[in-house]
Amino acid sequence: MKPLFRPAILTLALLGLAAGTGCSAAAKHAGPSAAAAAPSAVGVCPTAASMPLPKDFPKTLPVPDGAVVTSVEHRTGGRLVVATVVRGGFETALAFLQKQLPEAGYALEEGEVEADDAESNFSSGTVEGRWTLRKMPACEGGVYLTYLTSAVS
């Protein structure tokens, strides 16, 4: 995969975006995207229903069942940022990404796992991007999961 993003800057941007997100209903590929869903408070489990995944979110990119889409951002260069909150704990979300993305045809590259967060680049023949995970201390079993994607150029 050719470098699409500077990993340190990307990670900080995604974590910053995820910091304002809030954990509840299921996400589906549907409908138009909105700018953001307002959580009740930063770091607290979301109480609002999930936003739909935008139509341009890669259809083959696995998203955990029950993920709550809390924000969607379209950036320059065809980049898409989708922030979610998932339940079930950090280790469960990490295992999902490490198993389901390769099974769906995505190669994981340049990743790292720490006690409270993890991230990895990923790519397929048509999509490249990065996912980040971060524990939510104020939301039992809650984990921020953010995807940054773009079409392979």
Regarding pTM above 0.75, the answer is no
Instruction: Tell me the C-alpha distance between 137 and 151, whole Å.
Output: 34
- pLDDT tens across the length of the chain (153 residues): 444 444 433 443 444 444 444 443 333 343 333 333 434 445 678 878 889 999 999 999 999 999 999 999 999 999 999 999 999 999 999 999 999 999 999 999 999 999 999 999 999 999 999 999 999 988 889 999 999 999 998
Please give the angle made by the CA atoms of 18, 115 and 13, to the nearest 5 degrees.
25
